[in-house]
Every structure is written in structure tokens, then in C-alpha cells.
Chains A and B, each alone.
Chain A
Amino acid sequence: DAKTTQPNSMESNEEEPVHLPCNHSTISGTDYIHWYRQLPSQGPEYVIHGLTSNVNNRMASLAIAEDRKSSTLILHRATLRDAAVYYCILRGFYGQNFVFGPGTRLSVLP
């Protein structure tokens, strides 16, 4: 599975939008872009995933660059409960395990 690069940490103010970037320049045509987040002392939680088109769900939006070499997870209004480590992971449709990088630690300031 191709590698992703994310900033180590980011800060946001409560109730403001947050844009979490992810670079994946070696992505293959069959790789899905997944985002998970991990709150302290919990297992990773699914956030969103996509292949080519932008995706929206109740938790977040995923904006995928036209060349698919980068993507951005958008939290529309950050809350204190959104403070977590966010992982951007690539995986083929029938791929096996996810390879976790260090992720981005998001801090939300009240």
C-alpha cells in the first residue's frame, strides 16, 4: 500500500472549520483513501473514505484532488470531542490490513 504524509499536529478553535491535509503522491488507481481518528485510549473510529469523488457524511467531508495525489479531511465545525489523532490511510479494494502512519494530532481550543 502506498504511503501517506500528514502534518504531525494541528490546532483549531472550537466551532471553526478544520482542514486536515494528506499527501499520497504514489497512490495507485485502485487505492481508496480512508480517514480514521483515534481518541485517547480508544480504538480507531471510521470517519470517511473515498476513491475519486468528494464525499460527505454526517461526520466530515473528504475533498480529493483531481490527480488524487492529495486529499483533505474537512470537519465543518470542530468541537472539543473532535480532539484526536487523525489517520489518512490508503488501501486497495481487496487489500488487507491498514498501515498506520503517525497521523495528525488535532487539538481543539475552547
Chain B
Amino acid sequence: GAVVSQHPSRVICKSGTSVKIECRSLDFQATTMFWYRQFPKQSLMLMATSNEGSKATYEQGVEKDKFLINHASLTLSTLTVTSAHPEDSSFYICSAIPSGGRQETQYFGPGTRLLVL
């Protein structure tokens, strides 16, 4: 149980275009989801906390107008990278905390590799 999926698994886009990444909790509901970014040879860095039905909370240094987060249901959060540039190329990973029940564990998606040309 506790499976989180991401779509797409990898995407290549041209500079200046927007890319949407979906994060779904497949067998549980998640009031809270997180979005992380990971550059090569580095650890995961939290970008934002996504709460169902409310605005996302962004970490310092993350532009909220560039990385749009929508958490419209208890099983889906989306991250849209707007006007993507080559420096946005990275591995984007989401995670989710099950609503109710065991609150202490997060479950991570498989990640989405974004390459901006």
C-alpha cells in the first residue's frame, strides 16, 4: 500500500514553455503533499508544501509565480513549471502524507526528470 505516482516520468521541453507534473496518491488520501527538487549529485531540497484546498507554502528562494502548485483534490497535486529555462532542468519528486491514521511517514513518488533545452 501507500503508493504515490508521478506523471510524466521524464519530459523534454523547449526554453520558454510550461510543463505540468502530476503527483497522485493511488491508495490513500493526502491532505498534504510536498514537492522536492534534486540536482545531480545533490540531496533533495524542499520547494513547497501543498495543502488540499488552500494555497501552497513555498520555501525561501522558490518563486511561487514560476512554480505553480495546485492541490485540488485529496489524491492529486500538480506542479507547473512556467516559462521553463535550462537551469530548471532537474529531478522533481513529490511526496504525500496519508490523511488521518499514521501521520509520521511520507511516501514518495518515483520522480520526474525535466530537461529544458
- Residue ranges of A at the interface with B (Cβ–Cβ < 8 Å): 32, 34, 36, 41-46, 49, 87, 91, 93-103
Contacts and interface: CB of A to CB of B under 8 A. Distances in A.
A contact face: mostly helix, strand, loop, or mixed = loop
12 contacts: A41-B111, A41-B113, A46-B105, A46-B106, A49-B105, A93-B104, A96-B49, A97-B34, A97-B46, A98-B106, A100-B44, A103-B43
Interface residues of B, number: 24
A101 B108 CA distance: 16
A60 to B, nearest CB: 15
Contact of A42 (B36, B46, B107, B110): B110
B103 interface: yes
A8 B44 CA distance: 15
Contacts of A43: 4, 6, 93, 95, 108-111
Contacts of A42: 110-111
Interface of B: 2, 4, 6, 32, 34, 36, 43-46, 49, 91, 93, 95, 103-111, 113
B32 to A, nearest CB: 7
A87 B43 CA distance: 9
A41 B106 contact: no
Given A32-B104, A46-B105, A93-B103, A99 B111 contact: no
A101 B43 CA distance: 6
